[in-house]
A and B are shown apart, each in its own frame.
Chain A
Amino acid sequence: MPRVIVGLIFSPGLRSFNRHGIIYLFIAVFFLLAGCRFSPAPEPRSNYLVVGIESNPLQLDPRYSTDANGVRIGGLIYNSLLRADERMRLQPELAERWTAPDAQTYLFDLRRDAKFHDGKPLTAEDVRYTYESILDPKSRSPKRGMLKPLDGIDVLGPYRVRFRLSAPHAPFLEQFTIGIVPVGSPGAETNAMPPPGSGPFMLESVNSGEKVTLKANPVYWEGKPSLTGLVFKVVPDALVRVLEFKKGAIGFMQNDIEPDVLPWLERNTQASVAAHQGTTFQYIGINLTHPILRQRKVRQALALAIDRDSIIRYVLKDSVTPASGLLSPLNWAFDESVPQWPYDPQKAKRLLDEVGYPDPDGDGPRPRFRVSFKTTNIDLRRRIAEAFKEQLARVGVELEIRSYEWGTFYNDVKKGNFHLFSLAWVGVADPDIYFQLFHSDSVPPIGDNRGHYRNPEIDRLLEAGRAAVDPAQRKIIYGRVQKLLAEDLPYIPLWWWKNVVVQAPHVRGFVPYPDGEFISFKKVSLSP
């Protein structure tokens, strides 16, 4: 090969590239490229919508999927007994009717027109099989722990099923949103495609790391979707996703878009860009075993020293809304009377003086105290951390930023190896999540009370909230929880991320869901 090229360059006809040389060059290039195996160029498929996603969905089988894209794409393939609507209220899906005869029993009558993608009808046996296969220890399903309150499932007829709980457990309703698979579906120990579902779209192909293609279910019980299909294209780089959109190779994106590029998208493309209130909650976690941070006034001073509005405006370009706590305004248990911590550096300084951390040299370089702040090595996270550092320095607190690769960072957080860290809770639905995060019994490894927060009053309320079944009573209980936590500050609330939807002008009918679900693709159409 090099001979051919060099032969071209040094051939007697070098100065005027001879005809034979050019032929040699073409032959050489042809053989080089022919050595590669090419897959055929993807044809633009008619009436298919291409959705850009950041990462490869890991599991689509609803018994195993926990990654965001796996859950969202799986939600189009599988139906569940209940499903949250666009206002986060649980609505019947496969259930035609459902009742709770007592606090420990749920009775479901299934739709009779629901069929799996292989044509078999979906029955109560399939529902029982799905849940029992999750409970089987051999299945290694990550959802097994969530079904712990389940005592048994009884099939009362081909389309009637009863769930019995061992004790009243109001948050169990969330578990009825698990997708249903047919009896006999193999577990994760197989290379086979995920089992068929009964949802509006059927799985056509999975190309690991590349794309997942779905096609419309022609006999879907709600009617065949308008789209012929959907292609979820994996484009890991945020900038490249935007370029793909500009080129027209992607018609839809949701979230995972750098805030900086949103104004550019609006100026340079015909994209419709819309931001909707989301439920993902960003916070600063605090280690309450730290001798300084365990003092409530110190935590309050830190909350007062953070200028959220500036960060939201200049770093996050209004892609978030300031948060008062874990539950977003979309949650039925949200208490709007809980105040947000304002930016008040003077008050923060006074509080720190009061608790015995005076500034040793006024505006000089010596701090009142020094704490570390852990975050991931993602550029946006580091920029936000720099803003915190600068803002806390104004009240005399030195923040030492430590950014790590995700696995290392998360491991430190779970082990309590931190002073301060920032993370987000995604998919917050039932307020029982407070139990997992702040109950004294939820200290790792059992729960996620990573800051070791202990408050007997909170414990009592969270136990009452879990046992109560009446939503009105639960709302009162969790309202009290929200107020207490806003005062006590085991977390410093930062913001709720908006769901940012970018779609091409020909995409019609997408309804955003607070948790970023894709289910409304079943109603989406493409205008010519």
Chain B
Amino acid sequence: MKRYFFQRLLLLLPTLLGALTLVFFLIHLVPGDPVEVMLGETASAADKEELRRSLGLDRPLLAQYRSFLTGLLTVDLGRSLSERASVSALIRARFPATFQLTFCAMAVALLLSFSLAAMAARHRASWIDRAALLFSLFGLSLPNFWLGPMLMIVFAIQLGWTPVSGRGGLGHLVLPSLTLGLGMAAILTRILRAGLLQAIREDYVRTARAKGLSESRVWLKHTLRNALLPVITIVSLQFGSLLAGSIITETVFSWPGIGRLTVQAIQARDYPLVQGCVLVIATTYLLVNFLTDIFYRLADPRIHYGK
């Protein structure tokens, strides 16, 4: 087990390097020139050439790649080409906002999905079950760019309960968390309900009931635990992608997170910033996946890793 985790931890490094290498070469392949963005249209060709030289953009791509890797080793992500700040300062300023939104959206999704799936499974084929499935269908069908403004119109404009957009106090978190959380809750509800319904028919559940265990113990210890594995996979994937920034939701709710920063960097062809954002996103994703493996073991002690 320990050996397995140690191996997985070591595997993170080449995976990360692979992602960064891919992005480094892809961003250089995309049409657009950061020097043009920095110097504007009125700059002379000589000035542009000089800046290109001073930024090292005139060097062969492989030489630039070497410098990029050296920078990584010295934890120097470089300076943004479009903003007056270092890449790490910009990421430090934006990442907490994304983390906050992700955490709250996950909370909404978990609260809703566990409640709905459990009620639906317990009252199978009842109106509660049908309502949960209907909710799930709607949640999956409504895109965030539509749901966000609709929630704003109802809760911020008509009822006046929340602010419209932006980051600030608790009130600012409600609508973006709901927008992100509802879609996730829809998926989780379906998967968890199906898992619970499958588990409840198993022989060990019948045995547990025959032993005279209480209904709540049967559901918690014998049913839910066995239905959790696929849910953990989905939650971890969603958690990882949310931490990578939900670009649409961040844009709709003027949320100053890492997703918007990445898009801004790509549009400005701000190579160092794009690479810095990808580094953070890839690292986060890999760490979440790594943690998922640990959770698997906790959820199902039968799982063994390695010899």
Residues of A whose CB lies within 8 Å of any CB of B are 1-3, 5-12, 14, 29, 32-33, 35-42, 55-56, 58-61, 64, 66, 137-138, 140, 142-146, 148, 188-191, 194, 207-211, 233-237, 239-240, 243-244, 246-247, 249, 405-408, 410-412, 414, 436, 445-446, 448
CB-CB under 8 A for A237 and B256, given A2-B110, A33-B104, A36-B100: no
B103 CB contact (under 8 Å) in A14, A35, A411: A35
Q: How far is the CB of A383 from chain B (nearest CB, A)?
A: 18
CB-CB under 8 A for A191 and B267, given A33-B107, A407-B32, A408-B31: no
* A208 contact set on B, CB distance < 8 A: 83, 85, 90, 93-94, 256, 261
**From A31, which residue of chain B is reached at the shortest CB distance?**
B107
Q: How far is the CB of B31 from chain A (nearest CB, A)?
A: 4
Do A66 and B40 have beta carbons less than 8 Å apart? yes
B30 CB contact (under 8 Å) in A140, A194, A407: A407
Q: How far is the CA of A405 from the CA of B41 in the complex (A)?
A: 19
Do A36 and B99 have beta carbons less than 8 Å apart? yes
* A207 contact set on B, CB distance < 8 A: 93, 256
Do A5 and B85 have beta carbons less than 8 Å apart? no
CB-CB under 8 A for A58 and B32, given A40-B169, A445-B45: no
Do B48 and A445 have beta carbons less than 8 Å apart? yes
What are the 6 A-B residue pairs with the smallest beta carbon separation, nearest first?
Answer: A41-B169, A209-B256, A407-B32, A411-B31, A145-B43, A10-B219
Residue pairs across A and B with Cβ atoms less than 8 A apart, 28 shown, are A5-B118, A8-B115, A14-B122, A14-B216, A56-B264, A58-B83, A61-B84, A64-B84, A66-B40, A137-B47, A140-B51, A140-B54, A143-B40, A145-B39, A207-B256, A208-B94, A209-B264, A210-B167, A211-B166, A235-B254, A240-B164, A243-B156, A243-B164, A407-B30, A407-B267, A408-B30, A412-B31, A446-B44
**From B94, which residue of chain A is reached at the shortest CB distance?**
A209
Q: Using an 8 Å CB-CB cutoff, how does the interface string of B12-31 with A read, 1 for contact, 0 for none? A: 00000000000000000011
A33 CB contact (under 8 Å) in B40, B170, B257: B170
Identify whether the interface residues of A are mostly helix, strand, loop, or mixed: loop
**From A408, which residue of chain B is reached at the shortest CB distance?**
B31
Q: Using an 8 Å CB-CB cutoff, how does the interface string of B26-60 with A read, 1 for contact, 0 for none? A: 00001111001011111111011011001000000
Do B115 and A188 have beta carbons less than 8 Å apart? no
Chain B: interface residue count, which band?
35 or more
B111 CB contact (under 8 Å) in A5, A234, A244: A5
Q: How far is the CA of A29 from the CA of B100 in the complex (A)?
A: 14
Do B111 and A29 have beta carbons less than 8 Å apart? yes
Known: A189-B79, A408-B30, A446-B45. 17 other contacts (CB 8 A): A5-B115, A33-B107, A41-B172, A42-B166, A58-B83, A58-B84, A138-B54, A143-B40, A145-B43, A191-B89, A209-B94, A211-B166, A237-B165, A243-B152, A408-B31, A411-B32, A412-B31
* A3 contact set on B, CB distance < 8 A: 220
Q: How far is the CA of A411 from the CA of B268 in the complex (A)?
A: 12
Do B82 and A58 have beta carbons less than 8 Å apart? yes
**From A5, which residue of chain B is reached at the shortest CB distance?**
B114
A39 CB contact (under 8 Å) in B167, B171, B215: B167
Do B83 and A2 have beta carbons less than 8 Å apart? no
Do B163 and A29 have beta carbons less than 8 Å apart? no
**From A406, which residue of chain B is reached at the shortest CB distance?**
B267
